[in-house]
Structure 1
Amino acid sequence: MELSMNIYKILDDLGISYKNFQHPAVFNCEQAHLLALDIDGAATKNLFIKNKKGNRHFLIIMVDDKTIDFKRLSQILDVSSLSFASSNRLDKYLGTSAGSVSLLDIIKETQGAVELIIDKSIFNYSSIQCHPFTNTATLEIPTMGIQQLLEHYQRPYTEIEL
């Protein structure tokens, strides 16, 4: 995993526009809402989960006001029961910590050990809110820019209805 990645340089080099909002550290969606920042786009909930055996890992990206039904999701993904992965696994696979997880972290995972799952409704928005490898900022990135970034890093994803 390349820990020296600079997400701003990556986005600039790829010509992907973004707006940067600096703010105090937030550790969950509720804290982010309390900041009342004027950011457009889909506010996202980013969940790092694993199957029961711990041999499959998933980064789930969904609109933050949705709730997840782990039983239904495990049926969709055809895996035995799902649970949140530990902070050690989060660091090992995505090089990040709880509260800082975002869609952007998937580009740091180069072994293909984490499956990216995106709720279809995300693509109804013109832009997406993402932490830039830290929970002290939020980037607003056009949805097409996110798709360009994933394509550049050859990161496939599965769209599902959550």
Structure 2
Amino acid sequence: MNDVSSSPKTPEELYALLDDLGVSYSTRTHAPVFTVAESVGLRDEIPGGHTKNLFVKDKKDKYFVLTVEENAAVDLKTVHKVIGAASRVSFGRPEKMLEYLGVAPGSVTVFGAINDTRNQVTFVLDEDLMQNDVINGHPLSNDATTSIERNDLLRFLEATGHTPLVLKVTD
């Protein structure tokens, strides 16, 4: 059998899943943003915890998405000890990001879990970020921000077959 992955889900398919789960969320469209610095102007318009997502892998090709508060620092030399990686982590290749999460660099998001149907990625949510009642992330494209309540984000991840790790991964 040919193992061809289906095409990545669209933001509309993400919203449909959230609706099916009975999750309330709001999405605001904006100019595409590729970095935290570019997204700073949205802070006053969109309340809640804003995220930075790191797509990383260990030497055994185990992949992780680290979702942290946008200004938080992650020590890539030591975070492997916290997340259970086999070695120090490095950034995952764009091809794997597209294959597993259905997104390109600049659009990595916790919502990419909807595309990881074979559970190739472990999702790690930083404890500090999870202190926010509302978490914001890109809905599979970087020209919008979706706001979702913390517990609904956990429900979304569980619904995609992912049990997220909530760990202190920032300095």
Same fold (TM over 0.5): yes
Which secondary structure state, in structure 1, belongs to the residue aligned with residue 52 of structure 2? strand
Match of 1:150 among 135, 157, 167: 157
| TM-score, normalised with respect to structure 1 | 0.92
Structure 1 segments of 4 or more deviating over 4 A? Answer: none
Q: Which runs of 5+ in 2 are unaligned?
A: none
CA distance in 2, matches of 1:81, 1:124: 27
8 Å CA contact 1:118, 1:159 repeated in 2? yes
Question: Could you say which residue in structure 1 is the equivalent of 2:77?
Answer: 71
What TM-score do the two structures reach when normalised by structure 2? 0.87
Cα distance between partner residues in 2 of 1:75 and 1:130:
26
Taking a change above 3 Å as real, the CA distance of residues 157 and 35 of structure 1, as seen in their structure-2 partners, is: closer
Output the amino acid matched with 1:71.
Answer: K
Alignment: residue pair count: 161
Residue 140 of structure 2 is aligned to residue 141 of structure 1: no
- Determine what percentage of the aligned residue pairs are the same residue: 29
Secondary structure in structure 2 of the residue aligned to 1:70: coil
Structure 1 partner of 2:103: 96
Q: What is the aligned partner in structure 2 of residue 60 from structure 1?
A: 66
Aligned residue runs from structure 1 range 8-87, under 5 A: 8-53=15-60, 55-76=61-82, 77-87=84-94
Most deviating of 41-50 and 73-82: 73-82
Note closer, same or farther for the CA distance 1:36–1:128 as it changes in structure 2 (3 Å cut). Answer: closer
- RMSD after superposition: 1.5
Q: Secondary structure at the match of 1:146?
A: helix
Aligned amino acid, residue 104 of structure 1: F
Residues 78 and 152 (structure 1 numbering): CA distance in 2 closer, same or farther, change over 3 Å? Answer: closer
**1:125 and 2:128 equivalent?**
no
Whether contact under 8 Å (1:44, 1:129) holds in the other structure is yes
Shift of residue 35, structure 1, vs aligned partner: 4.2
What runs of 5+ residues in structure 1 fail to find an aligned partner? Answer: none
